[in-house]
Amino acid sequence: MTIKDLITRIINEELEKTDTFLVGVDTNQAETDLKFFIDGPEGVSIQVCTKLSRKISGILDEEYTDDTPIRYEISSPGVNQPLVDIRQYPQHLGRDLQVTLAEDEILTGELVAIGDSDITLSLLVSKHKKEERVILLENIIKSTVKISFKRKKK
């Protein structure tokens, strides 16, 4: 079992009974520098990441017998990372997303609904007209939250 597999197993076991989940892993080729990204319906607190990191350290001290030094990090994906799991979308309802589709079509619109296997965006089609479009997750190549510092009018 590789160190990446071992840490992934630990994370999945620890998060199994929570609403937090693993959404991605970045690693160098030698798997000596690893970054694990976790998310949840309300995001992820630093306390959750710290607790998980301490648990991993304890298990690695017992199970990791290789002398190769490793460095690992547990964090939330951050606003610049794409959404990769349907469970990430609810916390972004009402926000604008940029979605790249399989046909190289890029859509930008407000996330207004989430289904089991699709999302619905409200797209501005003209100055005063919006139209809703349902997008199957299987057709999404990349989906990112558009960061805005403007307050939406209520």
Going from the C-alpha of 25 to that of each of 28, 29, 114, the distances in angstroms are: 10, 12, 25
Q: Could you tell me the CA-to-CA distances from 154 to 89, 96, 150 in Å, in that order?
A: 22, 16, 12
Smallest CA-to-CA distance from 110 within 128, 129, 127, 96 is with: 96
For residue 79, what pLDDT band results from cuts at 50, 70 and 90?
confident
- 86-145 CATH pick, 2.30.30.100, 3.30.70.890, 3.20.20.80, 3.30.420.40: 2.30.30.100
Confidence of residue 153 (pLDDT cuts 50, 70, 90): low
Question: What's the pLDDT at 64?
Answer: 77
Q: Where are the domains of the chain?
A: 3-75, 86-145
Residue pair 144/80 in contact by the 8 Å Cβ criterion: yes
pLDDT in tens, 33-58: 999 999 998 889 999 999 999 999 99
The predicted pLDDT at position 65 comes to: 75
Q: Which CATH number fits domain 3-75: 3.90.480.20, 3.30.300.70, 3.40.640.10, 3.30.50.10?
A: 3.30.300.70
Q: What pLDDT shows up at residue 151?
A: 57
Half-sphere exposure for 123 (CA within 13 Å, toward CB): 14
Q: What pLDDT does 78 receive? A: 83
Q: What pLDDT digit, counting tens, does each position of 85-143 carry?
A: 999 999 999 999 999 998 889 999 999 999 999 999 999 988 889 999 999 999 999 99
- pTM higher than 0.85 for the full model? no
